[in-house]
Amino acid sequence: MNSILSSLITSKTRVKILMRLFLNPERNAYLRELADEFKISTGLVSEELKQLQKAGFLESEKNGRQLHFRANQQHPLYSELNSMVRKALGMDRIIDSIVERLGNLETAYLVGDYAEGKDTGIIDLVLVGAIDQANLADLVAKTEKYIGRKIRTLAVQDEEFESMREMLNRNPILLLWENGK
């Protein structure tokens, strides 16, 4: 167990791959896509993908000529890795603060680059419910300082969200929190 964890944190590329694929495990990526995104050689990314797959953390599937990789949700450490990625990106703090202070929040979704697993520094959230806008602005400002990332929010009521759902579903979207769950 200790050797697995030490092998995970010794490589910056490996950490980037884990963050990319474990934040939203429904998404997948292929070698060239990751190399371009991380601005590093395909050889380096390929080696890290092989090591992560060999350890059982990733699954792959051939799609045409490309091999697509995704998080192995059946791996015994999947839940812990997913949790570590969310904590590293500050998602746990964001959700705890939002739920505590925003009034009648029904659901919170992560959209955009972060929903795809890309750490671009701008977190886009869609918040559904009767949201206290004054608390939201204050909360966003404080949380941005704490996590070192920009947060953009869209607060909508149920009906408004339903009318936007089709458009939102065309892009990466990840349910972060749901009332009663």
pLDDT tens column, 105-154: 899 898 988 888 788 889 899 999 998 888 888 888 888 887 788 999 99
Q: Which of the four pLDDT bands, split at 50, 70 and 90, describes residue 176?
A: confident
Q: Which of the four pLDDT bands, split at 50, 70 and 90, describes residue 2?
A: very low
Mean pLDDT for 57-82 is 92
Residue 6 has pLDDT above 70, yes or no: no
In the chain, what are the domains? 2-83 (1.10.10.10), 89-178 (3.30.460.10)
Query: Under 8 Å CB-to-CB from 13, ≥6 apart: which residues?
Result: 38, 40, 44, 45, 48
Across-strand partners of 155? 127
pLDDT tens column, 80-115: 888 888 777 767 666 666 666 777 889 989 898 888
